[in-house]
């Protein structure tokens, strides 16, 4: 049953109330008017689907009312009711636009039936009109999509410019068009123009960072040209939030550029922006191929394309990945002192060693003679840290590397950054990876040549740091001190608090020693057992290392694992706290004679943790 809003018009109060009540009881929203003039006033204020009107009324009659109402709203249905059975009157009502003609007295059921029939016709017309409108929208969208695909399929840069301008002009009915795209320096260079445009009025180059350009270009919406170009609109080409170009459309053949033309231009501009980036990448691949001939590493163009896909997947599915920067700090010295051919073999074997450590999905690319990038999909901060450890070990095993090191050191620096922890775009990740390389270069690991120690030489490294054999620069985040009775307990407690702040953040805390000093404070600072359980599978872990029986009772906590190392006498006069997490790194070593060494030097803390894990066969990460 079709229901709707109905206006009942009759100068006789009896019929007005009778008809109004009958239609209202049938579920229709009903208003009444006692004259044609009152009905027109209601029609001006409200929208109705049906008018049921008496024909013979004082003043304006029902036929004139229907004629005026239909003039205002052609979709309005009308039913005529009269007390006279007059064929001429019925014909006039039908000509005015009435769908039915009823003679008084009218049965309420018959009136409701006729009204619902009229409302059904109105509903069918609305649905048909909506379907026609939707089909037209779909047809226009499909046409735009097909033309967008034509643009996307064009990988030749020169042809792309012409195709894009042709499509943009066609979908907006523009008689003139021009296109600027980014050059090597980041500016937008005029590349092509067609139709009715004044070439002299077009700037040869646009600075996208300029005050009048930066905001509208990044906004992505069409905007007015800030230079004299007649009746024109500029459409930004934005890909991955980066302006790669701008198109000018001018002098529309029929009328001005409106919202429909703006929308069509913006849609085609999106396709064009992607096509411009794809064309550049394709050209780069054509120039240099996929791999470097000397080392077998991928080239930078392929790496950037692969990284772009990884950014997309990571953002959409909330995943992590890591970027590693590998730097040969003394590449020129190696070439000079070891010889060109041994140097080339060493670099080739270095790339092969790093590639062996990686998985099939990991990509290593050559950036320059001394710098390489590695992309590690589905790899978090600790996964990247493990990759760095294994890569260093694998590189040091290479015969070609060892032969070069007989003549000069091979200074290999690596830094990693993780999405989204360290940043959400490539430049941010690159910044943090290089910052960690700088941190590694200034670390005591490099200054004291600690990489030369055996992988399991934890206690040797600890004694070296405690003994004061090597000087510590003032700028270093490391220091030696005398024993403080509360220092060890305070370090344990603060590391536990760091874990409690976010038990889901990956991290590990190693506490070693003979006695249980500070362990109760450590456990109290950790998140409570029920809180740790509610966190799901907490990623932080605490390991207590030492001889059996150092405490009266075992430590019961879901985050704590006790590792009994009976017979190792070094725990009698040594103690340590090693904390390594996604956000921080800290180590405290205490030895005989009240000697203390502590540091927040991340590479040094990682070296201590790695050697401890290797020595006692602990879970690496």
* Residue 251 placed within a domain: yes
At 362, which CATH number?
3.30.70.270
Would 134 be classed as within a structural domain? no
Q: Are residues 466 and 594 in the same domain?
A: yes
- The total of structural domains in the chain comes to 4
Cis peptide before 326 (omega within 30 of 0): no
**Tokens for 230?**
């007649």
Residue 554 is predicted with a pLDDT of 65
* Mean pLDDT (whole number) for 59-69: 89
pLDDT of residue 371: 92
Distance CA 390, CA 254 (A): 68
The answer to whether position 447 is within a domain reads: no
Q: What is the mean pLDDT of the chain?
A: 83
Query: Which of the 8 DSSP states describes residue 179?
Result: E
What is the structure's pLDDT at 94?
84
- For tokens 């996307």, the residue is 152
- 102 token code pair: 């009823």
What is d(CA 555, CA 602) in angstroms, rounded to the nearest whole number? 29
* pLDDT at position 328: 92
pLDDT on residue 549: 64
Per cent of the chain over pLDDT 70 is: 91
Smallest CA-to-CA distance from 376 within 366, 367, 388, 368 is with 388
Query: CA quadruple 60, 64, 66, 68: dihedral positive or negative?
Result: negative
Which residue in 456, 477, 467, 531 sits closest to 499, CA to CA? 531
CA distance 42 to 33: 8
Name the pairing type of β-strands 371-377 and 478-482. Answer: unpaired
**324 and 239 in one domain?**
no
Residues 405 and 458 occupy one common structural domain = no
Domain boundary among 227, 254, 284: 284
- pLDDT computed for residue 536 by the predictor: 47
The domain that holds 25 is classified in CATH as: 3.40.50.2300
Order the strands of the 232-239 sheet from edge to edge.
Answer: 205-206, 188-195, 174-182, 242-252, 232-239
Does residue 294 belong to any structural domain of this protein?
Answer: no
CA 164, CA 154: separation in Å to the nearest integer? 10
What residues does 419 pair with on adjacent strands? 321
Looking at residues 18-29, what average pLDDT do you find?
87
Q: Hey, CA dihedral for 384, 387, 393, 395, is it positive or negative?
A: negative
Contacts 24+ apart (CB under 8 A), 199-208: 201/227, 201/228, 201/229, 202/178, 202/227, 202/229, 202/248, 203/227, 205/180, 206/180, 206/246, 208/182, 208/243
The domain spanning residue 577 has which CATH number? Answer: 3.30.870
Asked if 597 and 469 touch (Cβ cutoff 8 Å), the reply is: no
Q: Are 35 and 58 in contact, with CB atoms under 8 Å apart? A: yes
Dihedral class, residue 515 (left if φ above 0, else alpha if ψ from -120 to 50, else beta): beta
Q: Which one, of 497, 518, 483, lies nearest residue 589 by Cα? A: 483
Last residue of a domain, one of 383, 415, 441: 441
429 plus 489 within the same structural domain: no
Cα–Cα distance between 501 and 437 in angstroms, integer? 28
Query: What is the C-alpha separation between 72 and 436, in angstroms, rounded?
Result: 74
Q: Would 136 be classed as within a structural domain?
A: no
Contact 603, 445 (CB under 8 A): yes
Q: Is residue 485 domain-shared with residue 597, that is, in the same domain? A: yes
CATH code at 179?
3.30.450.40
Whether 481 and 611 map to the same domain: the answer is yes
Q: What is the per-residue burial (b if ≥16 Cβ within 10 Å, else e) of 350-359?
A: bbbbbbebbe
Neighbours of 579 (CB within 10 A): 26
Q: What is the mean pLDDT of residues 28-35?
A: 90
Residues 523 and 612 in one domain: yes
In a domain, 140, yes or no: no
The sign of the dihedral angle between the CA atoms of 485, 491, 494, 495 is negative
Q: Are residue 71 and residue 23 in the same domain, yes or no?
A: yes
Entry pTM: 0.53
Tokens, residue 303 = 């790496």
Q: Which residues, other chains included, contact 612 with Cβ-Cβ below 8 Å and sequence gap of 6+?
A: 458, 510, 578, 618
Q: Are residues 479 and 405 in the same domain?
A: no
Give the E-state strand segments of 575-618 in sequence order. Answer: 575-581, 585-591, 595-599
Whether residue 527 is found in the same domain as residue 565: yes
In a domain, 31, yes or no: yes
- Those residues with Cβ within 8 angstroms of residue 332's Cβ, 6 or more apart along the chain or in another chain: 370
Written as one string, the DSSP assignment of 454-491 is -TT-HHHHHHHHHHT-S---TTSSEEEEE--TTHHHHH
- Higher model confidence: residue 207 or residue 586? 586
**pLDDT per position as a tens digit, 373-429:** 999 988 888 889 989 989 998 998 899 888 988 888 888 999 999 999 899 999 999
- pLDDT per residue as tens digits for the range 96-131: 888 888 888 888 888 888 888 888 888 888 877 777
Range of the domain at 588: 452-616
Same domain, 164 and 223: yes
- My answer on whether 469 and 576 are in the same domain is yes
**Within 13 Å, how many C-alpha atoms sit on residue 27's CB side?**
6
142 located within any domain: no
The 10s digit of each residue's pLDDT in 479-535 is: 888 777 678 888 888 888 888 887 777 888 999 886 655 577 777 788 775 555 444
Task: Report residue 564 as tokens.
Answer: 């009994």
Nearest to 465, CA basis, from 568, 585, 589: 589
Question: What tokens appear for 455 in the block?
Answer: 């992988």
Pull the structure tokens for residue 424.
């959400």
Residue corresponding to tokens 């009157």? 89
Residues 275/338, Cβ–Cβ less than 8 Å: no
Last residue in a domain, options 222, 255, 284: 284
By 3-state DSSP, what share of the chain in percent is helix, strand and coil, each rounded to 5? Answer: 50, 20, 30
pLDDT (mean) for 524-553 = 68
Residue ranges of alpha helices (H) inside 46-107 are 62-72, 87-96
Instruction: Supply φ then ψ for residue 463, to 5 degrees.
Output: -65, -35
Diameter of the chain by CA atoms? 124
């Amino acid at each position: 049953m079709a229901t709707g809003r109905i206006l009942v018009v009759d100068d006789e109060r009896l019929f007005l109330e009778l008809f109004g009540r009958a239609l209202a009881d049938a579920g229709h929203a009903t208003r009444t008017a006692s004259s044609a003039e009152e009905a027109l006033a209601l029609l001006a204020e409200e929208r109705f689907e049906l008018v049921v009107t008496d024909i013979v009324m004082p003043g304006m009659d029902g036929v004139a009312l229907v004629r005026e109402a239909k003039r205002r709203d052609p979709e309005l249905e009308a039913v005529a009711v009269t007390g006279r059975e007059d064929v001429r009157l019925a014909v006039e009502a039908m000509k005015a636009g009435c769908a039915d003609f009823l003679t008084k007295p009218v049965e309420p059921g018959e009136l409701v039936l006729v009204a619902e029939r009229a409302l059904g016709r109105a509903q069918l017309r609305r649905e048909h009109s909506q379907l026609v409108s939707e089909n037209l929208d779909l047809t226009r969208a499909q046409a735009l999509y097909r033309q967008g695909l034509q643009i996307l399929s064009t990988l030749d840069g020169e042809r792309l410019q012409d195709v894009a301008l042709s499509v943009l002009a066609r979908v907006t009915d523009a008689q003139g068009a021009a296109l600027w795209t980014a050059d090597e320096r980041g500016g937008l260079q005029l590349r092509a123009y067609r139709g009715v445009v004044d070439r002299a009025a077009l700037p040869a180059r646009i600075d996208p960072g300029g005050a009048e350009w930066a905001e509208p270009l990044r906004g992505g919406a069409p905007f007015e040209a800030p230079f004299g170009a007649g009746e024109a609109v500029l459409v930004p080409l934005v890909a991955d939030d980066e302006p790669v170009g701008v198109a000018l459309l001018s002098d529309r053949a029929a009328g001005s550029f409106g919202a429909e033309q703006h929308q069509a231009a913006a849609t085609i501009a999106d396709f064009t922006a992607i096509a411009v980036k794809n064309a550049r990448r394709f050209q780069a691949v054509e120039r240099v191929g996929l791999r470097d001939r000397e080392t077998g590493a991928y080239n930078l163009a392929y790496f950037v394309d692969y990284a772009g896909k990884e950014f997309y997947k990571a953002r959409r599915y909330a995943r992590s990945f890591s970027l590693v920067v590998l730097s040969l700090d003394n590449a020129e010295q190696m070439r000079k002192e070891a010889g060109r051919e041994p140097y080339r073999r060493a670099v080739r074997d270095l790339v092969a060693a790093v590639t062996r450590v990686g998985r099939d999905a990991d990509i290593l690319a050559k950036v320059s003679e001394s710098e390489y990038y590695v992309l590690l999909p589905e790899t978090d901060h600790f996964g990247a840290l493990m990759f760095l450890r294994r890569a260093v070990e694998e590189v040091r095993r290479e015969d070609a590397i060892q032969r070069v090191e007989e003549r000069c050191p091979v200074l290999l620096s690596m830094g990693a950054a993780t999405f989204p922890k360290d940043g959400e775009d490539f430049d941010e990740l690159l910044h943090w990876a290089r910052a960690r390389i700088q941190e590694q270069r200034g670390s005591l690991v490099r200054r004291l040549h600690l990489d030369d120690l055996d992988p399991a030489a934890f206690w040797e490294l600890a004694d070296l740091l405690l003994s004061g054999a090597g000087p510590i620069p003032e700028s270093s985040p490391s220091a030696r001190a005398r024993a403080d009775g509360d220092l060890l307990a305070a370090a344990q407690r603060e590391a536990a608090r760091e874990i409690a702040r976010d038990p889901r953040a990956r991290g590990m805390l190693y506490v070693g020693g003979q006695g249980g000093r500070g362990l109760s404070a450590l456990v109290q600072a950790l998140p409570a057992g029920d809180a740790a359980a509610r966190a799901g599978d907490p990623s932080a872990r605490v390991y207590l290392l030492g001889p059996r029986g150092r405490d009266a009772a075992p430590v019961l906590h879901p985050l704590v694992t006790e590792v009994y190392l009976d017979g190792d006498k070094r725990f009698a006069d040594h103690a340590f706290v090693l904390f390594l997490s996604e956000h921080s790194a800290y180590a405290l070593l205490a030895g005989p004679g009240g000697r203390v060494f502590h540091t927040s030097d991340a590479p040094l803390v990682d070296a201590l943790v790695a050697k401890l894990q290797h020595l006692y066969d602990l879970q690496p990460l």
